[in-house]
Amino acid sequence: MCVHAHPDDESSKGAATMARYVREGIEVLVVTCTGGERGDVLNPKMDRPEVQENLPLIRTQEMDRAREILGVKQHWLGFTDSGLPDGWLPDSGIALPEDAFYLVPTEAAAAPLVEIMRSFRPHVVTTYDEEGGYPHPDHVKTHEISVAAFDAAGDPERYTDRGEAWQPLKLYYQHSFGKARIEALHLAMLAAGLESPYEEWLVGDRDWARDKSERVTTRVECAECFGIRDEALKAHATQVDPDGFWFAVPRELQEKAWPTEDYELVSSHLPERLPEDDLFAGLR
């Protein structure tokens, strides 16, 4: 089970991992917490009034296409996108809309996720770290309810109206954009005589204080599924420009320079043997 905040997050974070496991015959469920209703149209080719007016429906349709490409199942949790006001941080005091997912108490917001865990019965759950991967209110809230649901799903005395208790065995945080990966892709582009999209990131004054590369415990080799990941990304046409940043590094360079997607094992009900190269280590 992979828990995400918005439609498109499943395709930009861990998509090749999911595609690899689907190929291996493992059942994968994406849980999407919100509909992305307050998102922007980020692909200039799609920035038209009729698209913005119908964005919730269009993003649902995009999710359907991405799900089919990845070969996963998908469930909408049903909360409303919080939006991302300029300067928002968890302690900023900047107001969010009253119906925002972020403002739903964690105990209540975790309830439908507990129910899905108990019905789907995953062995492995992936989600975002305590900062949401980056500080977006919906990503932070997704982290909070994922951790809460993972801890509660196996307790028969909690959420007694949400199905029979089931304890997932491993919980992972995704770490998609660590400095080591960015450096590897940057150097691969330079070695190929190409302009790196990460030049300003690495030689400028970018703050790497949030780099979490040292926390990675598990690197899943999935380069053979990068093509599936890319097609799933392109399915989210309102969010991803096929000629833009996401595709600036040729796939063959990515496959050689950094052929894994990376995770941090944060909770396990199995004996740990780290590092790992498989989210199902100890379960096979």
The binding site for Zn(2+) comprises 6, 9, 139
Q: Which residues of 95-130 are buried (b: 16+ CB within 10 A; e: fewer)?
A: ebeeebbbbbeeeebbbbbbbbbbebbbbbbbbbbe
Q: How many CA atoms does the CB half-sphere of 124 hold within 13 Å? A: 21
Annotated binding-site positions: 6, 9, 139
Q: CA distances (Å), 221 to each of 19, 97, 201, in order?
A: 11, 40, 25
* Residue with tokens 């703050």, as numbered in its chain: 207
- Residue 261's DSSP bridge partners are 220
Q: Residue 242 is which amino acid?
A: P
Q: Whole-angstrom Cα distance, residue 240 to residue 237?
A: 5
Strands (E), 83-229: 124-127, 170-174, 218-221
Short-list 134, 117, 113, 118, CA closest to 34: 113
